[in-house]
Amino acid sequence: NAGVMQNPRHLVRRRGQEARLRCSPMKGHSHVYWYRQLPEEGLKFMVYLQKENIIDESGMPKERFSAEFPKEGPSILRIQQVVRGDSAAYFCASSLARALGTDTQYFGPGTRLTVL
């Protein structure tokens, strides 16, 4: 059973460009979480999605950031008009369900975004 897949693993963008980060959850998982790891900081929660629904986006910056998890295909984290402060490692995690015993979050390898 393949783990959580993220691509690209490394992404370089110039200021003002758009960045699209993809996350394919583990097979059978319908819950996806995005976290951001800024340099010298721990991971910070960004957004929690289920298929076609955003459940909790309390950690998402109000502007330029958006996320989706369509019925078919991977979850996408989109950053418009990137700035240097967006440079970070972005991790996706998935879980089977939001219930006792099945809620362990499994993390992908991350996408390392560098904004020039």
Partner 1 sequence: AQSVTQLGSHVSVSEGALVLLRCNYSSSVPPYLFWYVQYPNQGLQLLLKYTSAATLVKGINGFEAEFKKSETSFHLTKPSAHMSDAAEYFCAVTEPPNAGGTSYGKLTFGQGTILTVHP
Binding mask 17-36 for partner 1 (x = CB under 8 A): --------------x-x-x-
Q: Which H helix or E strand runs over 7?
A: strand 5-7
**Which member of 17, 20, 30, 59 binds partner 1 (CB under 8 A)?**
59
The burial of 87, by beta-carbon neighbours within 10 Å (0-12 exposed, 13-18 middle, 19 or more buried), is given as middle
Of the candidate spans 12-20, 64-72, 78-86, 104-112, the one that interacts with partner 1 by CB under 8 A turns out to be 104-112
Q: Smaller CB distance to partner 1: residue 72 or 104?
A: 104
Distance CA 75, CA 89 (A): 16
Distance CA 79, CA 73 (A): 19
Q: Would you tell me which residues interact with partner 1 (CB under 8 A)? A: 4, 6, 31, 33, 35, 41-45, 48, 55-56, 58-59, 91, 93, 95, 98-101, 103-110, 112
